Chains A and B, each alone.
With several copies, the nearest count.
Chain A
Amino acid sequence: MSSEYTPIDQIVVSLSREINNNETCYTGIAIPSAVVAVQLARMTHAPNLKFFYGGYWINPDLDVDLFTIMTDTEAFRNSISKAQGFSHLIRLYEYWEGPKHTLSFGFIRPAQIDQFGNINNSVIGDPNHPKFRFPGGAAAGDISNACSRVIAYVPRHDARTFVEKVDFITGKGASPEWRKRVGLDNYTGIASIITDLGILDFNSPSGTMRVRSIHEFSTTEEIRENTGFDLEIPPDVPTTEVPTQVELEVLRTKADPLEIRNFDSRNR
């Protein structure tokens, strides 16, 4: 097996490392790299992650590919008796604002994101007569206020996605002061963003976006050129830890043998 890896491999591996053992999460089904990252984490460093899939299974069988469950009826039937538990979609929606504060993290793939972490999956231009209509936020607008933190990913880091100010706020960003004021301080909003160039977060003195690490195959200049605002790049910014042999092997043979993650490079 080759130790070469693609940018999307780096994204999935980095996403997976944002996940801690013993946390609880779910993913939407239209963000393939996130689903694959969860599987990879469960197969490597986070075996006790509690993971809802499809709003129903809790910790589906690791031997069954998650996409196969949804598309192969026999696999669907078999998976039933191997999951660690079952819940209901309605119950999952209760967890979002219920008394238990259940969800540790969620994922967002923003169409636009700005220096404060506000995301836009709605429109460019006048909201009533938009120049460009994105598919819509689905849960993206909710989970920043429903999961303890949000992990974002952007398959192609460019200046159309990373803008100084989003045209429309579909989901509120990190904004710790605002969160305190409206009583949402238990929810940090977007905590990190994984792109094909590096990893970003909001741990700068001003709370705006900064570069946490740069992938080994990209450069400071590339990130700067492909970002539509002045983001903070510390002088000693480290290189992202590359995927290990084990991670790559698990990813390719078990977590995503069908290469579902590549849907994210094709469709944006």
Chain B
Amino acid sequence: MVVIGPVDELVRKIITPKKKISFGGAALFLKPMEVVREIIRQEIKGLKIYTLIGDLDIDLLLGVNAIKELHASYVGLPMVGMAKHFRTAIEKEQSVVFKEWTELSMVRAFQAGAIGTPAIMLRTLLGSDLVKIRDDFEEVTYKGKMYIQVPAIVPDLAIVHAYAADKNGNVYYPKHHALDEFSTLPAHCAKELFVTVEKIITNEEGRDLIKNGQSTMFSSIDTDYIAEAPRGAWPSGFPPFYASDMGHIMTYSGMAQMPETFQMYLQEYIFGEKEEN
């Protein structure tokens, strides 16, 4: 049965060091930012994070040294610049083990995890030095053709942000958005699923959404934990409800450059009184 509760309680209960956690969203869209902030507030460390395209979520967590191992195909602030703490953590502090994937290989590894196959062959990795440095990427031959076989990703927990959830645990997101599969990919492969939503609705309201042409993004079979977090993806974008807050991302990018200003950012936007976004 799905557990519905406040973000802080659920984070305290289910996010523990060493857990393998995948994040929904990509590239400043649909990120589970309220959970990221709560992880920082609760000073949880030692996480192993999987995200297709990391941005503010990852840079914040690296800034407070919460991540021990990171898997992604890209970490940066698209249209704004480099992710400062990502560089520092790797180049100077060597405080994180970073495993780079290509976008397609990571997508295939998520898909393999979801269907329960332990590894999958693809060809776009051929010729890449990633194969040389990743001991879990293997060159194989099938019927005389070369492939790279990558292992499935099976996180202990997936965390995604979505539009609404009913009391049964069905999760809704309007059709004709561009990006929901950036969240279902890292969710379907995980052993447990934690969804934050803009709002919790009644089962009847859920059925009305269905009648009006929506489908469920996750069914009650998929979800384990649900918390209400209005504007929970902010400052990443959540189309069609709110855009990526590029002004805020630029502010962050500036304040991330020095430890002192980063602390000010944390105080103002994470530890301080929660303001209306």
Query: CB atoms of A and B under 8 A apart anywhere in the complex?
Result: yes
Which A1-56 residues have a C-beta within 8 angstroms of B?
22, 24, 29-30, 32, 50, 53-56
Q: Which of B7-15, B207-215, B226-234, B260-268 lies at the interface with chain A?
A: B207-215
Closest partner residue, chain A, to B121 (CB atom): A97
Residues on B with C-beta less than 8 A from A29 are: 27, 78
For A82, the chain B residues whose CB sits under 8 A away are 207
Cβ contacts under 8 Å, A171 to chain B? 127-128
Q: Given A70-B243, A98-B114, A122-B100: A182 and B74 within 8 A (CB)?
A: no
In the complex, the number of residue pairs spanning A and B with C-beta atoms less than 8 Å apart equals: 211
A122 to B75, CA, bound (A): 11
The answer to whether A85 and B190 touch across the interface, beta carbons within 8 angstroms, is no
- When the two chains form their complex, are residues A89 and B179 in contact, meaning their CB atoms are under 8 A apart? yes
Contact A146 B104 (CB under 8 A): yes
Complex contact B75–A136 (CB within 8 A) = yes
Bound-complex Cα distance A71 to B245 (A): 8
A95 vs B116: C-alpha distance in the bound complex, in angstroms?
Answer: 9
Within the complex, what minimum Cβ distance (angstroms) separates A116 from chain B? 11
Residue of B at shortest CB range from A60? B178
Known: A135-B74, A138-B73. A168 touches B178 (CB 8 A): no
Assess whether A205 is interfacial by the CB under 8 Å rule: no
Q: How far is the CA of A184 from the CA of B128 in the complex (A)?
A: 13
Task: List the A side residues contacting B3 at CB < 8 Å.
Answer: none
A73 part of interface (Cβ distance < 8 Å): yes
The reply to whether B113 and A99 form a contact with Cβ atoms under 8 Å apart is yes
Q: Is there contact, CB below 8 Å, between B74 and A89?
A: no
Instruction: Check A87/B221 contact, CB under 8 A, given A139-B73, A178-B127.
Output: yes
**In chain A between 125 and 141, which residues have their CB closer than 8 angstroms to a CB of chain B?**
127-133, 135-141
B152 shortest CB reach to chain A, Å: 9
Select which of A73, A87, A137 is within 8 A of B241 by beta carbon.
A73
For A169, what are the chain B residues with a Cβ–Cβ distance below 8 Å? 127-129
- Pick the contact of A139 from B102, B117, B215, B220 — CB < 8 Å? B102
Least Cβ–Cβ distance between A170 and chain B, in angstroms: 6
B115 touches A93 (CB 8 A): yes
- CB neighbors of B among A45-99 (8 A): 50, 53-58, 70-73, 76-77, 80-82, 84-91, 93-99
Given A130-B90, A133-B90, A32 and B79 touching (CB < 8 A)?
yes
Nearest-CB residue, chain B, relative to A140: B102
Residues of B within 8 A of A91 (CB): 188, 219, 222
In the docked arrangement, what's the CA distance between A141 and B73, Å? 10
Known: A81-B210, A267-B80. A145 touches B127 (CB 8 A): yes
Q: Across the interface, which residues of A come within 8 angstroms of B179, CB to CB? A: 54-56, 89
B154 at the interface (CB under 8 A from A): yes
If A56-B178, A90-B181, A263-B79 touch, does A73 touch B189 (CB 8 Å cutoff)?
A: no
User: Are B220 and A58 in contact, with the CB atoms below 8 A?
Assistant: yes
Q: Are A97 and B115 in contact (CB under 8 A)?
A: yes
Q: Is the CB of B73 within 8 A of A132?
A: no
B237-A71 in contact (CB<8A): yes
**A136-B219 contact given A55-B179, A131-B91, CB 8 Å threshold:** no
Q: Which residues of B contact A71 (CB under 8 A)?
A: 237, 243-244, 246
**Residues 78-119 of chain B: 1 if any A CB is under 8 Å from the residue's CB, otherwise 0?**
111111001100110010001010111101000001111100
Residues of A at under 8 Å CB distance from B? 22, 24, 29-30, 32, 50, 53-58, 70-73, 76-77, 80-82, 84-91, 93-100, 102, 122, 127-133, 135-146, 168-172, 175, 178, 182-184, 260, 263, 267
In the complex, the 4 A-B pairs of residues with the closest C-beta atoms, listed nearest first: A172-B127, A97-B116, A135-B76, A54-B178
List 14 additional contacts besides A72-B243, A137-B103, A169-B129; criterion CB under 8 Å.
A70-B243, A89-B181, A97-B124, A98-B114, A99-B189, A99-B190, A102-B221, A122-B130, A129-B94, A135-B74, A135-B75, A141-B124, A145-B127, A184-B126
